[in-house]
Amino acid sequence: MAKEYDLVVVGGGIGGYSGAIKAAKEGLSVALVESDLIGGTCLNRGCIPTKAYLKSAEMVRKFQDMSEFGIVADDKYKIDFTRIIDRKDKIVQTLRNGVSALLKMNKIDYFNGEGSVLGTSIFTPKSGSVMIKPNDGSDEIVLTPKNVLIATGSRPTSLPTVQVDEKNILTSNGILQMTELPESITIIGGGVIGVEWASLLNDLGVKVTIVEFQDRLIINENPKVSNQLKNEFEKRGIEVNLSTKVQSAAIDNGQTTVTAQKGDKGISFEAEKILVAVGRKPNVENIGLEAAGVEFTRKGIKVDEFYQTTAENIYAVGDVIPTVQLAHVAAKESELVVDKILEREVIPLDYDNIARGIYTFPEIASVGLVDGKASDGANAKKGQFDFKFNGKSMIQGELVGQVEMFTDIKTDDVIGLSIVGPHATDMISEGALGIYLNASPEEFGDTVHPHPTLSEAIMEAANDTFGMSVNK
């Protein structure tokens, strides 16, 4: 007889395990099914490993700048990529072990195998039973939950004319399998994944070329920030090609060539490797959605504002639904699902108040409306403070960037915060909290910030809204 659960989670990434742990802490009986490594893309092939590489890249920059801080050393150094990989793997393994320990601590049954939801039949009279094909080849298992949470995530996509082999032409999965740094690389795509890899590989001594179809990098940020990143990249020797449409990619004798069209002119880019970073697509195939009556498109599973699918007892969160593809968003969505299952009052997530970060050098972070437009369509008030005037920035030797604060003229509520510069991704949460609480720039400015700190730039930007920044 199949074991019954209050909740079965299909997918062990951050969206899946966060919901499973919350549900278990609330006293629900929970099972989690994962076909690959626990922790999903973010922990194993995304956020965590790339940020580990970015930290190693940062250390190269710091070594190069040591003389600025009065430390004289031999200007020669060696990048040991094997040790960089080992450090990354150790961090990932430690965090993966931590997630596994949390599952055990919270008495969550874990199944390593392929999970799929079932429709109704004489064996499964209720839609939403979950069948598991264990990876160890043992017999199939059927679980009969009251509720199902689908959190199967996404995978890298490519272009129709570019054939990925994960050896010479790589996705964000394959590039993490490299054991040696290439001499050169062409990155197709100037979104978050593309620019983060461009930044870190450049610091590690790789010749980097970016080819982007849009007319600017990181299209979801405001044009000023996009242009700022482009300028900083070009100062560091990264070649940036915008408004350039890739037509094909070829491999010949260990070298790759990308053929593209820029305006009315054909252009080609040669490099040792190619990274294709043109987006991700949801994992909706082969998980039983049709049989279970769950509607979906190529963009993902259809859900309502509480992440309920067209099958009443089946929910979906994270990259598998057409919302914002961010790890912290998936985690929050799954927590709201648990609240919904427990029949609590749930306030729908405000996606305009989700902080987002780009871990390039310089770092970029933003929250809310940062295009200068207020909610009523009028131009927002803007305050700005540059890090070159900030004492802590001078101490750290990182003077590039600024804080921009956008305020609705009608309501006097802060509606957006954009940060370019040191520790931007750490500081952005102050803006997210302020927007959540409908804070005004005056309230940001009246909050006493410790000195010297980078966060003083937020206070100064708020005061600049009224022309009252003391240090500007």
Q: Is 115 helix (H, G, I), strand (E, B) or coil?
A: strand
Q: What does the pLDDT average to over 63-78?
A: 87
Tokens of 205: 């001594």
**Whether residues 94 and 216 fall in one domain:** no
Identify whether residues 12 and 133 lie together within a single domain: yes
> Can 451 be counted among the known catalytic residues?
yes
> Are residues 136 and 24 located together in one domain of the fold?
yes
Q: What is the pLDDT of residue 125?
A: 60
Residue % of the chain over a pLDDT of 70? 97
Name the residue type at position 84: I
Based on the fold, state whether residues 25 and 77 are members of the same structural domain: yes
DSSP notation for 125-138 = -STT-EEEEETT--
Question: Are residue 288 and residue 316 in the same domain, yes or no?
Answer: yes
pLDDT in tens, 361-388: 999 999 999 988 876 677 899 999 999 9
Q: According to the model, what pLDDT value does residue 385 have?
A: 98
User: How many structural domains comprise the chain?
Assistant: 3
Tokens found for residue 53: 């590489």
pLDDT above 70 for 327: yes
The mean pLDDT value for 52-64 works out to 96
Q: What is residue 122's predicted lDDT score, i.e. its pLDDT?
A: 57
E-assigned strand segments in 82-229: 109-117, 130-134, 141-150, 154-156, 169-170, 184-188, 207-211
- On the question of pLDDT at 222 being above 90, the answer is yes
**What pLDDT does residue 121 have?**
65
305 and 376: one domain? Answer: no
The DSSP secondary-structure symbol of 176 reads G
Euclidean distance between the first and final Cα of the chain, in Å? 72
pLDDT band (50, 70, 90) for residue 2: low
Is residue 197 included in any domain, yes or no?
Answer: yes
Q: Domain check: are 273 and 322 in the same one?
A: no
Between CA 140 and CA 243 the distance in angstroms is 50
Please spell the DSSP secondary structure of 396-429, one letter per residue.
HT----EEEEEE-TTT--EEEEEEESTTHHHHHH
Instruction: Of 132, 154, 49, give the one whose Cα is nearest residue 96.
Output: 49
Report how far residue 378's alpha carbon sits from residue 289's, in angstroms, rounded to the nearest whole number: 44
- Which of 328, 423, 449, 451 is labelled catalytic? 451
Interatomic CA distance for residues 98 and 353, integer angstroms = 29
Of the candidates 457, 438, 298, 313, the residue with the CA atom closest to the CA atom of residue 375: 438
Same domain, residue pair 123 and 142: yes
77 is a domain residue: yes
Q: Is 199 exposed, middle or buried (0-12, 13-18, 19+ CB in 10 A)?
A: buried
In a domain, 164, yes or no: no
13 and 130 in one domain?
yes
Residues 50, 143, single domain; the answer is: yes
For residues 407-412, average pLDDT: 93
What does the pLDDT read at residue 225? 97
What are the pLDDT digits (tens) for 196-221? 999 999 999 999 999 999 999 999 99
Helix (H) / strand (E) containing 102 = helix 81-105
Q: Rounded to an integer, what distance in angstroms lies between the CA atom of residue 219 and that of residue 5? A: 43
**What's the pLDDT at 293?**
92
Single residue among 289, 321, 341 that ends a domain in this structure: 341
Whether the Cβ atoms of residue 57 and residue 31 lie closer than 8 Å to each other: no
Write the DSSP symbol of residue 228.
H
Residue 406 in any domain: the answer is yes
Q: What is the pTM of this model?
A: 0.95
Give the number of other Cβ atoms within 10 Å of residue 74's Cβ: 5
User: And the tokens for 343?
Assistant: 């029949």
Indicate if 70 and 213 belong to the same structural domain: no
User: Is 162 within a domain?
Assistant: no
Average pLDDT of 36-45?
Answer: 96
Q: For 93-109, what is the mean pLDDT?
A: 98
Residue 74 has pLDDT above 80, yes or no: no
Instruction: List b or e across 34-55, with b for residues whose CB sees 16 or more CB atoms inside 10 angstroms.
Output: bbbbbbbbbbbbbbbbbbbbbe
Where is the domain boundary, 341, 363, 379?
Answer: 341
Residue 161 counted as domain residue: no
Which of 231, 254, 278 lies at the terminal end of a domain, its last residue? 278
pLDDT confidence tier of residue 120, bands split at 50, 70 and 90:
confident
1 has pLDDT over 60: no
- Residue 123, pLDDT > 70, answer no
Q: What is the mean pLDDT of residues 38-43?
A: 96
Mean pLDDT of the 429-455 span: 97
Note whether 45 and 150 are same-domain residues.
yes
**Mean pLDDT, residues 303-320 taken together:** 96
> CA geometry: angle at 54 spanning 50 and 58, to 5°?
175
346: in domain: no
Range of the domain at 424: 353-464
- Write the CATH number for 243: 3.50.50.60
CATH number at residue 427: 3.30.390.30
